[in-house]
Amino acid sequence: MAGRKNAVKAAGPGTAKIALVTGASGFLGLHLVEVLRAQGYAVRSLGRHPHGRLDALGVDQRVGSVTDAAVVADALQGVDCVYHLAGYVSRDKSDRGPMYAVHVDGTRTVLQGCLDAGITRVVVVSTSGTVGVSDDKRFMGREDSPVPWKVIGQWPYYESKAFQEKEVLDFVARGLPVKLARPTLLLGPGDHNGSSTGDVVKFLCGDVKAALPGGMSFVDARDVAAALPALMEKGEPGVGYLFGAANCSVHDFLVQLAQVSGMAPPAFTVPKRVVDSPLEVLVKKATTLKLFGGLEPQTFEMGCAYWYIDSTRAKTDLGFAPRPPAETLRDTVADLRGMGQA
């Protein structure tokens, strides 16, 4: 059964509804906990290890895996709503197994537990990369865009997230009104685990000298956290709402980072004809020239794709209001430097 770290401190016994957050110790999870507590919820978490930051926020920590049905059932007792954020973030293709276990098996276990417990207020957080990526720079991902299986099949993280979404749709068809969030790259302060800001750190350390030719999208984790309760209340079940603040080329993103950080901008963008060289040749050239701070092959592949999305529906239906991108970048840089990471 689930271990118990501490009792809920957010409110007196019986005075607050309980929100269960899986993955609460992560980048987005910590921001969401703060949002929920500000809204009067007592927060319970389910994670593999207890965390001091959750302790400080007064979270009732249950220790265990989202793939363990007994652990999940215990954590769900007395819960009013569930935010399922638990994930396994990795670009290493050898981590395919753990990613599928958490994203697919874990999501199925949590949703089955909700169905069994009669809990109907559920949000699952996926990623915009399940629909918002293409080899065509004219592409713009929307909620109803098809999953680009051929593209994301290169990257187990996104492929496993797409299968996670299939689980969500299956449970929606079974009568569980699950709401689905698809944020793009999360930036802003508070990425204590380095799950989203690792490439920014490389740039701030002076390791990135050139830009890859693709495009990207990013959003402030604080703004996504603020929007998730609105998704819970107003979202349409099974619709994968896209949350992004800015689309830009990789080159323009690095220029913006340079402007807010005082670092040198990228000297050039790698030409497409060079990128089209065999991957092992490209990686060897880049490593020799020390252009990208030792980025792994999968990062090269991702940096040559276009990750553009349209967040109009989230803004219209949910009131999603992302802050100016420059503010997010300034706060990201300041926080990373404050933590001594750059």
Strand partners for 182: 242
Interatomic CA distance for residues 242 and 28, integer angstroms: 15
334 Cβ contact partners less than 8 Å away, ≥ 6 residues apart: 189
For the chain, list the domains and their CATH numbers. Answer: 3-194+217-245 (3.40.50.720)
Residue 245 tokens, joined: 């603040």
Interatomic CA distance for residues 285 and 249, integer angstroms: 22
- Contact between 188 and 328 under an 8 Å Cβ cutoff? The reply is yes
pLDDT tens digits for range 35-59: 999 999 999 999 999 999 999 999 9
DSSP single-letter state for residue 249: E
DSSP single-letter state for residue 137: T
Interatomic CA distance for residues 138 and 130, integer angstroms: 17
DSSP single-letter state for residue 8: -
Query: pTM here?
Result: 0.91
- Contact between 260 and 330 under an 8 Å Cβ cutoff? The reply is yes
Residue 335 tokens, joined: 């926080």
pLDDT tens digits for range 215-227: 999 999 999 999 9
- Contact between 37 and 8 under an 8 Å Cβ cutoff? The reply is no
Beta strand 60-63 with 3-4: parallel, antiparallel or unpaired? antiparallel
* H/E stretch holding 166: helix 156-173
pLDDT tens digits for range 146-186: 999 999 999 999 999 999 999 999 999 999 999 999 999 99
Task: Categorize the per-residue pLDDT at 332 as very low, low, confident or very high, splitting at 50, 70 and 90.
Answer: very high
- Contact between 25 and 54 under an 8 Å Cβ cutoff? The reply is yes
315 Cβ contact partners less than 8 Å away, ≥ 6 residues apart: 321
Residue 19 tokens, joined: 């929100």
Task: Categorize the per-residue pLDDT at 9 as very low, low, confident or very high, splitting at 50, 70 and 90.
Answer: very low
